[in-house]
Amino acid sequence: MKKILAIAAFAAAVLSANAAEPANNEVEYGRNITDYVSKPKFGGYYIGKYSYSDQDNAHGGTGLSQRLIRLYVDGTILNDFKYRIQVQTNNGSFHMKDVFVEWQKYKFAMVKVGQFKRAFGFENPMNPWDISTGDYSYFTKKLTGDYKGDTWGGGGRDQGIQVQGDFLKIGQDNHNLIHYQVGVWNGEGINKSDADGKKDYIGTIQFQPIKGLMIGAFGWTGETAGENRDKYAFGVKYDNKEGWSLRGEWGHSHYTGSNDDAWYIVGGMPLNDWFKVSAQYQTYRNGKSWENAQCTYSLIPEFQLHKNLKFQIQYNYNDFRASADKHFNEIWGELYFRF
């Protein structure tokens, strides 16, 4: 894990020492400058959910609910500074999700400051619209949180500073071979200041041998409130413009007193312009024990009638080995729209 962080940090240092990319547009700076500001872009999306379960004492599932409603605004200042503010509400819980500024002058070394997604895992930074399933995987929910999942609804986010970039063009399509991210986060989750002065150090190095195929390694080390946390993960992701997709990740988490691991694989096949079928297998093991394993097998048909409108049905067969009712079924129906 520490080697992963060292590689990402080395890449950032080497690239920063290289000659600067020529600027396309020279801008003036000063407290009275009002030009070079993009028109703010406002948008949002809604995901509504119906859930049925035949698990004992689940009372048939949660029924209808708001999975989430998000609103955002983003734009640029002085061409090179991108900003975003995103808020979320679901079933009465309103909170700030993202708020950051990223300096993007040099694509090989972009600096982001604020509250945003941690650089751990391929799935974590993905939009809920794009993950192909009705919820994030156990890998993402259990291993990208500050402890054993984002019980406070952070969605894999924290407050920090990060450097990321892409470099080394290859192939006839001139795509970047290497992507890296390395950063320092508070380790407290969203909407919280640093409580103890200790930090989380997270990084990733990723390779794209052919366009659309990413192979990555991720590392995380930190400490808070007397708890040490060390995590590492490996993953692969592929998608193309025709709609084919494949993603898989495995991760290990060590914290004071216990070890966990999780993995998943999900693949999607488009049958026509509006119908796609995906399937997923995932497992989470508390204490790395099969006696505590949670395994879920899912089939997900998706009907996308418009770029901004789609319907999704998901069937889950669950094998929760530490539960009284170990084997149970779920059916989810989800409606997505955005503007």
Q: Looking at 174-240, list the stretches that DSSP marks H as alpha helix, in order from N- to C-terminal side.
A: none
Contact call for residues 198 and 168 (beta carbons, < 8 A): no
Residues in the chain: 339
Contact call for residues 89 and 148 (beta carbons, < 8 A): no
pLDDT number for residue 10: 46
Tokens 């000659």 sit at which residue? Answer: 19
Measured distance CA(29)–CA(80) in Å, rounded:
12
Q: Is the pLDDT of residue 216 over 50?
A: yes
Q: pLDDT class for 16, splitting at 50, 70, 90?
A: very low
Measured distance CA(229)–CA(268) in Å, rounded:
33
Sign of the Cα pseudo-torsion (285, 286, 290, 291, in order): negative
- State pLDDT tens for residues 20-55: 444 455 788 889 888 899 999 999 999 999 999 999
- State pLDDT tens for residues 225-255: 777 889 999 999 999 999 999 999 999 998 8
Q: pLDDT class for 145, splitting at 50, 70, 90?
A: confident
CB atoms within 10 A of CB 291: 9
pLDDT number for residue 172: 94
For residue 76, how far is the Cα from the chain centroid? 23
Contact call for residues 158 and 189 (beta carbons, < 8 A): yes
pTM for the model stands at 0.89
pLDDT number for residue 329: 98
SS3 274: coil
pLDDT number for residue 236: 99
Q: What percent of the chain shows pLDDT beyond 70?
A: 90
Tokens 């040490």 sit at which residue? Answer: 228
pLDDT number for residue 27: 84
Using DSSP bridges, classify how beta strands 63-77 and 213-224 pair: parallel, antiparallel or unpaired.
unpaired
- State pLDDT tens for residues 56-66: 988 888 899 99
Which residues face 304 on adjacent strands?
A: 310
- State pLDDT tens for residues 288-329: 999 999 999 999 999 999 999 999 999 999 999 999 999 999
Q: Which two tokens stand for residue 296?
A: 């879920």
Q: What mean pLDDT is predicted for residues 209-231?
A: 91
Q: Is the pLDDT of residue 215 over 50?
A: yes
Q: Is the pLDDT of residue 273 over 60?
A: yes
Contact call for residues 77 and 36 (beta carbons, < 8 A): yes
Dihedral, CA of residue 87, residue 90, residue 95 and residue 100, to nearest 10: -30
Which residues face 315 on adjacent strands?
A: 299, 331
pLDDT number for residue 20: 44
Q: Which domains does the chain have, with CATH numbers?
A: 2-12+44-338 (2.40.160.10)
